[in-house]
Structure 1
Amino acid sequence: MSSDISYTTEEIAKLLKISKLTVYDLIKKGELPSYRVGKQMRVDAADLEAYKQRAKGLQAAEQRPAPAEPVSFQPAAVGAGGTRSVVITGQDISLDILVKHMEKHTPGIRPLRAYVGSLDSLIAMYRGESDIVSTHLLDGDTGEYNLPYIKRILVGFPYLVVNLLSRKAGLYVQKGNPLGLKDWADLSRTGLRLVNREKGSGARVLLDEQLRLHGIQRDQLQGYGEEQTNHIAVAGTVAAGEADVGVGIEKAAAIVGGVDFIPLIEERYDLVVLKSAENMPWIESLMVILRSEEFRRELQSIAGYDLSRTGEILLET
Structure 2
Amino acid sequence: MSEELSYTIEEVSKLLKVSKLTIYDLVKKGELPVFRVGRQMRVDAKDLENYINGNKSTQSSTNPVPLIAPHRAETKKDHNIVISGQDLVLDILGKHIEKHSAYKPLRSYAGSLNSLISMYNGECDIVSLHMFDGDTGEYNLPYIKKILIGYPYILLNLISRKAGLYVQKGNPLNITSWADLGQQHVKIINREKGSGARILLDEQLRIHHISPRNIKGYKHEETNHLSVASAISNGLADAGVGIEKAAKIVEVDFIPLVKERYDLVILKKPENEELIKIVKEILTNSAFKSEINSLGDYDISQTGNILYETF
TM-score under structure 1 length normalisation: 0.91
Alignment map for 1:35-184 (pairs within 5 Å): 35-57=35-57, 61=60, 64-65=61-62, 75=72, 77-78=74-75, 82-107=77-102, 109-184=103-178
* Aligned partners of 2:28 and 2:78 also within 8 Å: no
**Separation in 1 of the partners of 2:305 and 2:187?**
39
* Aligned partners of 2:126 and 2:266 also within 8 Å: yes
Give the letter for the 1:226 counterpart.
H
The Cα of 1:37 is off from its aligned counterpart by: 4.4
* Aligned partners of 1:28 and 1:78 also within 8 Å: no
**Separation in 2 of the partners of 1:248 and 1:93?**
14
Corresponding residue for residue 190 of structure 1: 184
Corresponding residue for residue 279 of structure 1: 272
Corresponding residue for residue 34 of structure 1: 34
1:300 and 2:293 matched: yes
Structure 1 residues 16 and 181: CA distance shift in structure 2, 3 A: same
Compute the RMSD of aligned alpha carbons: 2.0
The Cα of 1:76 is off from its aligned counterpart by: 6.2
* Aligned partners of 1:30 and 1:75 also within 8 Å: no
Give the letter for the 2:116 counterpart.
L
The Cα of 1:78 is off from its aligned counterpart by: 4.8
Corresponding residue for residue 249 of structure 1: 243
1:22 and 2:15 matched: no
Give the letter for the 1:315 counterpart.
Y
Task: Say which SS state the counterpart of residue 111 (structure 1) adopts.
Answer: strand
* Aligned partners of 2:29 and 2:78 also within 8 Å: no
Which stretch shifts more, 43-52 or 149-158? 43-52
TM-score under structure 2 length normalisation: 0.93
Corresponding residue for residue 10 of structure 1: 10
The Cα of 1:51 is off from its aligned counterpart by: 1.8
Paired residues in the alignment total 306
Q: 2:219 aligns with which of 216, 225, 242?
A: 225
**Separation in 2 of the partners of 1:173 and 1:199?**
21
The Cα of 1:50 is off from its aligned counterpart by: 2.3
**Separation in 2 of the partners of 1:197 and 1:65?**
46
**Separation in 1 of the partners of 2:235 and 2:186?**
12
* Aligned partners of 1:31 and 1:76 also within 8 Å: no
Report sequence identity in percent.
59
**Separation in 2 of the partners of 1:35 and 1:78?**
21
Which stretch shifts more, 85-94 or 2-11? 2-11
Corresponding residue for residue 309 of structure 2: 316
